[in-house]
Amino acid sequence: MLSPRWKKLLGDLRSAASRFAMMAAAIAVSTAAVGAILSSYAILTREVSRNYLGTNPASAQLEFSAADDSLVRKILTRPGIADAEAGSTVLARIEVAPSQWLPLMLFVVPGFDRLRINAFRPESGAWPPPEGSLLIERTALPLTRTQVSKPISVQTSNGQKRSLSISGLVHDPGLAPAWQEQTVYGYLTPATLRALGESGDLHLVKIVVRDNAGSLRAIEDTARRLATWLGEQGWPVEEIRIPPPRMHPHQSQMMAILVMLLIFSLLALVLGAILAATIISGFLAQQVRQIAIMKAIGARSRQIAFLYAGLIAALGAASVALGLPLGLAAGRGFSSLAARLLNLNIYSYSVPWWVWAADLLLGVAVPLGVALVPILGAVRRTIRDAINDYGVDKQSVGASMIDRLLARFRNPDPALSMAVRNTFRRRARLALTLALLATAGAMFITSLNLKAAWEKNLADARADRHYQVEVRLENAVPESKAAALVGAIPGVERVESWNILPAAVDSPGHFTIVRTYPDGGHGSFTLRSAPPQTDFIAHRVQEGRWLRPGDTDAVVLNHMALALLPNVKVGDVISLIVEQRLVQVRVVGILREMLTPAAAYATPEGFAIAAGQAGLTNAVRVALKDARAVDSVSRSIEQALARERVAVKVSITESRFDEAQTGHVYILVFALIFMALVMAVVGSLGLASAMSAGVVERTREFGVMRAIGATSRVVLRNVVSEGVFTGLLSWLIAIPLSLPLSTQVGNLVGSLSFRVPLPLFLSPGALGIWLLVVLAVSAVASAFPAQRAARLTIRETLAYV
Amino acid sequence: MGNTSTMVEPATPAGQGSNHTLISLRGVSKWYDTPSGRFGALKDVALDVRRRDCVAVVGKSGSGKTTLINVITGIDSPSSGRVQVAGAAVHSMSQEQLAVWRGRNVGVIFQFFQLLPTLTVAENVMLPMDFCGTYDSSERRPRALALLDRLGIADQAGKLPADLSGGQQQRAAIARALANDPPILVADEPTGNLDSRTADDVMSLFARLAREGKTVLMATHERDVSRFFTRTITLVDGVVQAPFFAGVKSC
């Protein structure tokens, strides 16, 4: 049987059920958010490892003019090499609609049943693919606009357009989803490749190092030693590709988002805790006399503190019990979505014990820790002081400077003046409520600011490109020929040559070491020629200057390239390896280019010197008269080039570029909106509870107001005005608060994911939406207690003690 | 007048009450700082109350009655002086010590009854036993019911305070004050919120309790209550006036 003291507490809980329900809801929402993020983090880190490391990713790929089994056997004898396997990649094209091509990255596998490194798994269809067919990565099938067992048209650089059938699907967790990269991934045998007109020779050896497989430096040392030795043995290594070890191509972006979500959800929990403190302090304000009575009849402060702390702990535990399952369900949902965006299979949604423990601890300890302040304050009051407490004390108004200032606020409507002055009566509670609402508002605004900053980045990136098509050719052709061919096509306004060649930063031994993933895109670094006077891109020069005519040894690095060369400054001379030639160039500027792979830009003269070729081009950028005609003009360009037997490697149109970029930021936008909603809910609950506490305390005053003629409507308006005024104040505080928050979170997210801080961008929409939300929420949150106050009879209100 | 030390009973040396003295105050003053200056609620009060005394503290509003009651029960601490109650130096005890001491030695009764609204009458009476750990938990309810029966409201035991009349609530408050069987009962205006007939009933009840062995000290603004008390102490502006011994009628 419960002892009277606990029965009393249960009775109190029932008497303030709605406020405690709000508190439980706020803690439940925030623990759900924390639970969702922690469980997503736990699931994703485990499953990324299981998926990506399950492919046994190559520590490095060594490129040769030709590689065979005897070379692999030689490599396997070397110290520090755990495994080696030959393979090849060929960039081809797939026709997804008449004269509409997408890049097709072909992975050539000599033995599907012996595949050990960068392994992928069959999902459906044949295994290995019969000759004349290929397997497609499962995320690429929608891009092909066809189905398994149907024929597709493929063209390699040395061959004609050929028909192949798709014999099945595979899952390759080492690759980002095809739709994000706008590239189709195919897997075939050397024999099938030969049928496409290519030699079928292998030219890559994938290696796995034995020791320190997670250390980039260790891998680089091992690869360099191996390459040196192989060179001495007559097997010169043309290029060494070392992607970030043990990391999925999109892992850093995913982790950045999770870190950001974790910060937001912990802040949401702090908000929930502040709310708990607000509610408990309002509740204790009503309980001061009862506490005094209990002390008068023998209760010790410790006993009373334990009672109320027990109540908070129990509510916290109940909230966690409610919020954690929701959080885990949301975590599974988020993990599932993230898995699709990372091209992972989730093999288990199980959540480790520490997620449960951390959520329980946070859900109970944080509110308890915060609520201890008002609890201890209440139980430490002397009995005499507490017993003489009449809630809102008339003596307390008018004494301070704020009161005197507020007294000057005059309005023809006394109810409105009263509402404004009432707002400042319980200043500690007002401070808590404002802190809660303003923090929620700042976070809401921040999340939309970040979203807007991303979208602005995308829009800027789009606006920075003043061309609509880029055509990359298999082989360089005379610039004049390319310009004449493309320039003659109806709809084309201007053509510029923008040569492109893979480049690498020189390293000891002069090996070409690049950070490229097996897909050839992520981590790549290129040297490009750019006309100095070009207006095809906006020159967002962060440091130094753009290219000038006559620059022959100058390059401008974009910020992604700078990330590969972190110690390089404007004015430094760097050594690059281009076409196996060592080139020394001077960095004259740093260019900010969003969502563009690492590149160094040189003048056509500078490029010609570096590449050892002049007057040729292997890429052109095209501006159209009508940007809307991009698809049809792009097709015309390809057809014109094909007629002249100029092989196209890839044709990148504005729409494809947009799709790829939007695909990369979709999850971030989703995450930000999710957090904004959590913030809005917790903030609203906070205001509702504070208003409710204020109304309960002033019940007698409402009685007096009604006794002297105020109608229920006047009482209602008075309370709602106070709530709206509080909401408005919080909005004014939230705006400056959101500035440093947006800057910091933008720095973190931008730097972690795309190597550049997100610019501070104040979204006017965010300010407007939060103003509307906070006003609506204030009105609704205060309307409920106001209605309660308006319904009380004068006798009831005056009898309230 | 404010600095005059007043004695209402031959006093033993400070803090060393005789065997019969249960409450002893020496040089007790209480000052409050208010916006209009320093206000003396009690001024150099000396007072002895013997075991089984039934004492009325009377005076106008603001005369210091409640402050005197609060100082004796440890609800408030004196600005200066010594307060000895039931062998304890109340003036030097901490709040925690006072809570335990009060629970076992003093039953406090308030003007507005101050029953906890979410507990039934019986549970209100059980609460001091619960806090002080007196009586075995299985004995508490029967004891609460016995006390309520003794005060004539056993049939109200299961009701919430709001369902009781003022007189019944005050009886319940007295039953709660008796829960731990304290030697002293202190009441601050216990009839202030009752009609005259009910007030008389409550006064009679206190007188009866004094006869049964309790020491009763009651602050009241009503002067026509001398028939219930063995002694009446009059306070004027915080100073105890000359002693007035009432005829022993009821006590």
Q: Do residues A205 and A86 lie in contact, with contact meaning Cβ atoms separated by under 8 Å? A: yes
Residue A541: beta bridge partners?
Answer: A591
- Identify the top-confidence range among A250-254, A357-361, A464-468, A492-496: A492-496
Location of structure tokens 């401008």: A556
Lowest mean pLDDT among A574-578, A697-701, B38-42, B205-209: A697-701
Chain B partners of A3 at a C-beta cutoff of 8 Å? 126, 130, 137
Domain hosting A52: range is 1-56+249-389
Q: Do residues A67 and A365 lie in contact, with contact meaning Cβ atoms separated by under 8 Å? A: no
Q: Is B104 on the interface with A (CB under 8 A)?
A: yes
Q: Do residues A688 and A784 lie in contact, with contact meaning Cβ atoms separated by under 8 Å? A: yes
Same domain, A71 and A109: yes
Chain A partners of B70 at a C-beta cutoff of 8 Å? 383-384
Same domain, A196 and A260: no
Chain B partners of A386 at a C-beta cutoff of 8 Å? none
Mean pLDDT in chain A?
82
Chain A partners of B124 at a C-beta cutoff of 8 Å? 4
Same domain, A645 and A513: yes
Same domain, A50 and A66: no
Cα dist from A133 to A107, A163, A164, A193, whole Å: 13, 9, 5, 10
Same domain, A703 and A732: yes
pLDDT at A795: 57
pLDDT at A522: 64
Same domain, A442 and A510: no
pLDDT, average across residues A473-481: 88
A373-409 pLDDT, tens digit each:
888 888 888 787 776 655 444 444 445 666 656 656 6
- Report whether pLDDT(B225) > 50: yes
- Report whether pLDDT(A410) > 60: no
Q: How far apart are CA A5 and CA A308, in angstroms?
A: 11
Same domain, A229 and A107: yes
Residue B96 to residue A384, Cβ atoms within 8 A: no
- Report whether pLDDT(A688) > 80: no
Q: How far apart are CA A516 and CA A522, in angstroms?
A: 6
Chain A partners of B108 at a C-beta cutoff of 8 Å? 296-297
Tell which of A613, A628, A661 closes a domain: A661
Domain hosting B157: range is 51-74+88-240
Q: Is B181 on the interface with A (CB under 8 A)?
A: no
Same domain, A77 and A24: no
B96-138 pLDDT, tens digit each:
788 888 888 999 888 777 788 878 899 889 988 888 888 998 8
Q: How far apart are CA A687 and CA A727, in angstroms?
A: 8
Distance (Å) from the alpha carbon of B245 to chain A's nearest alpha carbon:
30
Same domain, A643 and A697: no
Same domain, A418 and A363: no
pLDDT at A108: 93
Residue B99 to residue A301, Cβ atoms within 8 A: yes
- Report whether pLDDT(B28) > 60: yes
Q: How far apart are CA A613 and CA B122, in angstroms?
A: 102
Q: How many residues belong to chain A?
A: 801
- Report whether pLDDT(A412) > 60: no
pLDDT at A76: 92
Substitution target in B72, B124, B127 with the highest count of A β-carbons within 10 Å is: B127
Q: Is A15 on the interface with B (CB under 8 A)?
A: yes
Residue B95 to residue A3, Cβ atoms within 8 A: no
Substitution target in B104, B116, B139, B147 with the highest count of A β-carbons within 10 Å is: B116
Helices (H), A408-540: 414-423, 427-464, 479-487
Would B221 be classed as within a structural domain?
yes
Substitution target in B42, B95, B129 with the highest count of A β-carbons within 10 Å is: B95
Helix (H) / strand (E) element for A623: namely strand A616-624
| Residue B12 CB neighbour total at 10 angstroms | 16
| Residue B220 CB neighbour total at 10 angstroms | 24
pLDDT over 70, % of chain A: 88
Which of residues A178 and A400 earns the better pLDDT score?
Answer: A178
Tell which of A359, A389, A419 closes a domain: A389
- Report whether pLDDT(A447) > 50: yes
Would B19 be classed as within a structural domain?
no
When divided into structural domains, chain B yields a total of 1
pLDDT at A628: 83
Of A3, A15, A298, the CB nearest to B99: A298
Question: Is ipTM over 0.85?
Answer: no
Tell which of A341, A373, A389 closes a domain: A389
Rg (CA), chain B: 18
Q: How far apart are CA A155 and CA A101, in angstroms?
A: 10
A188-224 pLDDT, tens digit each:
999 999 988 888 789 999 999 998 888 888 998 999 9
Residue A296 to residue B95, Cβ atoms within 8 A: no
Cα dist from A177 to A172, A248, A653, whole Å: 9, 11, 19
Helix (H) / strand (E) element for B48: namely strand B37-50
State which residue of chain B sits closest to A396, comparing Cα positions.
B35
Would B38 be classed as within a structural domain?
no
Would B34 be classed as within a structural domain?
no
Q: How far apart are CA A438 and CA A429, in angstroms?
A: 14
Least Cα distance to A721 among A391, A430, A417 occurs for A417
Would B150 be classed as within a structural domain?
yes
Which of residues A415 and A96 earns the better pLDDT score?
Answer: A96
Distance (Å) from the alpha carbon of A429 to chain B's nearest alpha carbon:
25
CATH code, domain carrying B172: 3.40.50.300
pLDDT at A530: 92
Which tokens sit at A184?
A: 């189709």
Which of residues A614 and A732 earns the better pLDDT score?
Answer: A732
Helix (H) / strand (E) element for A135: namely strand A133-137
Same domain, A401 and A381: no
- Report whether pLDDT(A275) > 90: no
When divided into structural domains, chain A yields a total of 4
Would B198 be classed as within a structural domain?
yes
SS3 A243: coil
Residue B103 to residue A297, Cβ atoms within 8 A: yes
Same domain, A474 and A576: yes
| Residue B142 CB neighbour total at 10 angstroms | 10
Of B76, B114, B123, the CB nearest to A293: B114
